Amino acid sequence: MKIINGLILLVLFMGLNVQAKVLQIAEHGFIVENTIQTAHNSEFVWAKLVKGIDKWWPKDHTWWGQQGQLSIQTFAGGCFCETSGDKSAEHMRISFVEPNKILRMTGGLGPLQEMGMYGALNWTLSANNGATLVTLTYRVSGINPDGFEKLAPIVDKVQTMQLNQLKKYLE
């Protein structure tokens, strides 16, 4: 719990507006949730989230850095993919789309993919006193011989960074 509290304090100290939480750690997975609020309406946020992904997603969390191009196909069965010349990677598969409200992706991000982990990544946009609340929840399951006590806070920290990048792009 000290690690989790330390990460939350670090994020708050840095002046970032993300509320970050490791909601649960279990034998075969974990749940992390991060939230931002923006003054923009959900239509604006949605457009920047899905159409502008290559502009705000941290390039150091892609397979080919600046050489890669990210895209999201906003239909069930679509791809959150990266391409670089003749190389390509599926980061996640799109499983649910309700424009301006919910985008659900399934799969394992980054090293979780290689570890055989599987998860549901939910982007939820909701009205909040004239603003939009963006909640990013990642439910990950799999087998990790080392457990999830160390892995979950790391994933939470990365999700916090990604959501902060979206917020910077929105503002």
C-alpha span between 30 and 126 (Å, rounded): 24
The arithmetic mean of pLDDT across residues 148-154, rounded, is: 95
Position of tokens 């424009």?
99
Cα–Cα distance, 26 to 30 (Å, whole number): 6
Structural domain for 92, as ranges: 2-170
pLDDT > 80? residue 12: no
Q: How far apart are CA 22 and CA 4, in angstroms?
A: 7
Q: What average pLDDT does range 14-42 have in this prediction?
A: 87
**Whole-model pTM?**
0.86
Encode pLDDT of 67-80 as tens digits. 999 999 999 999 99
Say whether pLDDT at 6 is over 60: no
How many residues would you count in the chain?
171
Kindly state the tokens that stand for 7: 């990460």
- CATH classification at residue 38: 3.30.530.20
pLDDT at 14: 39
Indicate the number of domains in the chain. 1
- Give the per-residue pLDDT at 17: 66
Cβ atoms of residues 160 and 36 within 8 Å: no
Output the pLDDT for position 130: 87
pLDDT in tens, 105-119: 999 999 999 999 999
pLDDT over 70 (residue 165)? yes
pLDDT tops 70 at residue 30: yes
Whose CA is closest to 130, among 44, 35, 52? 44
Q: Are 55 and 72 in contact (CB under 8 A)?
A: no
